[in-house]
Chains A and B, each alone.
Chain A
Amino acid sequence: MKKHGSKLIFILLLAVCAIFLFPVFIVVMNSFKSKFYISAEPFKLPTGETFAGLTNYIDGLSKTGFFSAFITSLFITVCSVGAIVLFTSMTAWYITRVKNKFTKLTYYAFVFSMVVPFQMVMFTMVKTANVLGLDNPWGLIVIYLGFGAGLSVFMFSGFVKGIPIEIEEAAMIDGCGPIRTFFLVVFPLMKPTTITVAIINTMWIWNDYLLPYLVIGSDYKTIPIAIQYLRGGYGSIDMGAMMAMLVLSIVPVVIFYLLCQKHIIKGVVAGAVKG
C-alpha cells in the first residue's frame, strides 16, 4: 500500500517536473531553429530544413553586445548578492540576539517590506535614486540590497533562533569579541541559509528587468535589457536570436544552482549541543 502511494507521488512529481521544464525545453529547441520557423511551428522539433545550427547564437551575440551585458549583469548580481548576504546576516543576528523595542520594530519593518509590491514604490524609488545619485551600477547594488533585505533578514533570523546561544558564549570566553564571534562562529554555521538566500536573490536579480531598466537602463544594459533590444521597431522581433540569448542567460544561474545544491545540507548544527 505504502509502495503504491510513493509510486503515485513519483508519477505526479514527474508530471509537475515536465510541466515546469516544458517552456525551457521550447526555448532551447527553438534557439536552434531558423527564425522564420519559430513563430510558424513553435512546438516542432528542428529538422534538416528548419535547423539553423549556431546561427541564432552568433547573430544574437553580435546584435546585443551580449558580453558587455553579461559583465554588467554579473557585476550587479554578484555584488548585490554579496551585500545582501553579508549585511542581512549580520542584521538578523543582531536583531535576534539583542532583544529590545528597536530591534523588534526593525524586524517587523523588514517583514513588512516583503509584502509591498515593487510596482507600488517603483516611481518614487526611481526618483529618489536619481536625487541621491544612485542611478549607476553601484547605486543599483544599494537598491537591490534594500529590496532583497526583507526576505533575507526573515530567513536568517529564523536560522539564528536555532543556533544555541551557548556556542556564542563559548566563543566569547574563547577570546572573541562580537565581530569575531559572528564571522568565525556564527556565520559559518549559517551556511545552508546563506546558500539558500544567495540562490533566491541571484535568480531574481539576474533575471530582473524592470529595476535596472528604470534606474540605469539608458547607460548600462544588463542581459534582460540587452535581449529586450532585439525587439525592433514596428513589432519586428528577431525570435531566433532572442531564444538563443535567453538560453545563454539561463546557463549561469543553472550552473550556480547546481554548484550550490550539494551544500544545502540540513542539520549542520546537529552535534553542537546534546542529542
Chain B
Amino acid sequence: MSSITLKGVSKIFEDGYKAVDSFSMTIPDKEFIVLVGPSGCGKSTTLRMIAGLETVSEGEIYIADRLVNNIQPKDRDIAMVFQSYALYPDKTVYKNIAFSLERRKMPKNEIARRVHEAAKILHIEHLLDRKPKALSGGQRQRVALGRAIVRNPAVFLFDEPLSNLDAKLRTQMRTEIALLHKRLGTTFIYVTHDQTEAMTMGDKIVVMDGGVVQQADTPENLYNNPKNAFVASFIGSPGMNFLEGTVEKGKSSLVALIGGDAVPTKKDSEALRSKQGQNVKIGIRPEDISLEGTVAPLKGILKVQENLGSEAYIYIEYQNTMLTAKAPHITHKQSGEEITFYINGDKMHFFDADSGENLS
C-alpha cells in the first residue's frame, strides 16, 4: 500500500510568499496523478514537499499512512526524476543506476541483477559503461528513469521530466512512461506545465493556479465539465474560446445572446437561470464551432487558416474576438472574406463573469 495523503499542506517561503495554499488530497495506491498548471502555480513545490526536499509550512503529508513531515528524503521510500536529469556526471551509467542500491548496502550480485533488469526495460543495456556526457538527451532521461525504477520505491515523483526533450522524443517517452506505470503498478506523481502530457498520461489530473487546487478530476471530466474558466482555458489545445454575452429565456430553452446574435442551448441549471439578463462568460471548444450547420448561423471575418493535414484550424474574427474553429479541412475562402459559422449551443459552457465559476 503506498497511498499518499496531503492534509491542508501549505508552503510559505521565508519572504512570505505562499507557494502552496491548503493542498488536500488522497492519492490512492497505484494511481497516476498529474499536477498541472502554469509556471509558479505551486505544482513543483508540492512535489518537492512530498519528496522531502522542501519543508512543509502547514499541514501533514502521509505516505502509506506514515506521517513523513519530518522524515528525510532517503527514508521516504520515494524515487524522483528531475527535469534536468541530475545524473552524477563522474559516474558511469551503471554506477548512476546502482548508486542508491549501494547506499542501501545491497549485495553486489543483487545490484548487478537489478541494474541490468532496469537497463533492459529502458533499452539502455549497451550504454552501461558510458558516462552521462556521452549520452543524448533521450538516453540521459532513460538513465534518470532507470535510477528511479531500480529502487522499486513506493512512489515515483516526476518533475517535468520531458521538458528538455524535443517534440518527437517527448511523445515517445510519454508513451513509455505510461507503459512503465502499467508495468510497475506503483503510484506515480507527475508534474508538468504541458496540458497535453497531463491529458494523455494521468488517471487523474490536478489543475493548480496561484498555489490553489482549481480542480482534481479525470481528464474527461476536466475537459467536459471544467469547474471554472481557468480550468476550461488551461485544458484543451487549442484552448477554449471565450465570448461575452447574456443568457435569456427562449421559446423552449435558454438562449445565449452574443452581441445581437442568439444561440439556443439545452444547458440549464439553477445557477444559470439566476444569472438571466446578466453578463456571463461563454466558453466554446474549437471543435464545437463548425462551418456547416443549420441552426443560428453567425457571420465573422476569416483571418487565418492552418492546415494540419488531418484537420484544420480556422481563425475567425467575431465581435472583436478571435475564435478558433477546428474543421476537417480548410475552406476555399480567402482571408479577409466574410464567413458563416455555427456554434453548437448544447456544448457551450457558461461562467460567472466575476468569479469564473462554471454555471452550467
The tally of residues in A whose CB lies under 8 Å from a CB in B reads: 26
Residues of chain B in range 79-97 having any CB-CB distance to chain A below 8 Å: 79-80, 82-90
Within 8 A of A (CB), among B42-78: 51-53, 72-74, 78
Chain A residues contacting B90 (CB-CB under 8 Å) are: 188-189, 191, 268
Distance A174 CA – B140 CA, assembled complex (angstroms) = 17
User: Is B87 a contact of A271 with CB atoms below 8 Å?
Assistant: yes
Known: A177-B74, A270-B133. A170 touches B164 (CB 8 A): no
Say how far A183's CB is from chain B's closest CB, in angstroms.
12
Q: Mark B90-106, 1 if CB is under 8 A from A, else 0.
A: 10000000011001100
Contact between chains at B147 and A271 (CB < 8 Å): no
Q: Is the CB of B132 within 8 A of A169?
A: no
The size class of the interface chain B forms with chain A is 20 to 34
Known: A177-B72, A272-B132. A169 touches B82 (CB 8 A): yes
Query: With A169-B53, A271-B133, A271-B134 in contact, is A175–B100 under 8 Å at CB?
Result: yes
Of A166, A174, A267, A274, the residue contacting B103 (CB under 8 A) is A174
Q: Contact between A176 and B103 (Cβ–Cβ < 8 Å)?
A: yes
How many A-B contacts are there with CB distance less than 8 Å?
Answer: 91
Mask: chain A, 148-182; 1 = CB below 8 Å from B; 0 = not: 00000000000000001011011111111100100
The answer to the question of A273 belonging to the interface, with a C-beta cut-off of 8 Å to chain B, is yes
In the complex, the answer to whether A273 meets B86 with C-beta atoms within 8 Å is yes
**With the chains together, A166 CA to B51 CA distance in Å?**
13
Do the beta carbons of A173 and B133 come within 8 Å of each other?
A: no
Taken together as a complex, chains A and B put the C-alpha atoms of A166 and B132 apart, in Å, by: 15
> Is the C-beta of A230 less than 8 angstroms from some C-beta in chain B?
no
- CB of B297 within 8 Å of the partner chain: no
| Beta-carbon nearest neighbor of A189 in chain B | B90
Chain B residues lying within 8 Å of A175, measured Cβ to Cβ, are: 74, 100, 103-104
- Give, as a whole number of angstroms, the nearest-CB distance from B359 to chain A: 44
Would B74 and A174 count as touching, CB distance under 8 A? yes
B271 at the interface (CB under 8 A from A): no
Chain A residue numbers with a CB within 8 Å of B51 are 169, 173
B74 near A164 (CB under 8 angstroms)? no
- Nearest chain B residue, comparing its CB with the CB of A164: B84
For B74, what are the chain A residues with a Cβ–Cβ distance below 8 Å?
Answer: 172-177
Q: Does A61 contact B (CB under 8 A)?
A: no
Name which residue of chain B comes closest to A175, CB basis. B103
Q: In the complex, A271 Cα to B90 Cα: how many Å?
A: 9
Q: Chain A nearest CB: distance from B53 CB in Å? A: 5
Looking at the complex, which one of A189, A268, A272 makes contact with B86 (CB distance below 8 Å)? A272
The residues of A that contact B79 with a CB separation of less than 8 Å are 173
Q: From residue B69, how far is it (CB to closest CB) to chain A in Å?
A: 16
Q: Within 8 Å of chain B (Cβ to Cβ): is A12?
A: no
- Is B137 positioned at the interface, with any CB of A under 8 Å from its CB? yes
The answer to the question of B121 belonging to the interface, with a C-beta cut-off of 8 Å to chain A, is no
Name B72's contact: one of A172, A272, A273, A274 (CB within 8 Å).
A172
A125 at the interface (CB under 8 A from B): no
Q: Is A185 an interface residue (CB 8 A)?
A: yes
Query: B85's contact among A184, A188, A269, A274, by CB below 8 Å, is which?
Result: A274
Task: Specify which chain A residues have a CB less than 8 angstroms from the CB of B87 in the assembled complex.
Answer: 167, 170, 271-273
Which residues of A have CB within 8 Å of B178? none
B1 interface residue per 8 A CB criterion: no
Instruction: Mark A residues whose CB is within 8 Å of B.
Output: 164, 166-167, 169-177, 180, 184-185, 188-189, 191, 267-274
Other than the given A173-B51, A270-B89, 9 more pairs (CB < 8 A) read A170-B80, A171-B99, A172-B73, A173-B79, A174-B147, A177-B74, A188-B90, A272-B86, A272-B87
A-B contact pairs, 8 of them (CB 8 A): A167-B87, A167-B88, A169-B80, A169-B86, A170-B88, A172-B73, A267-B133, A271-B133
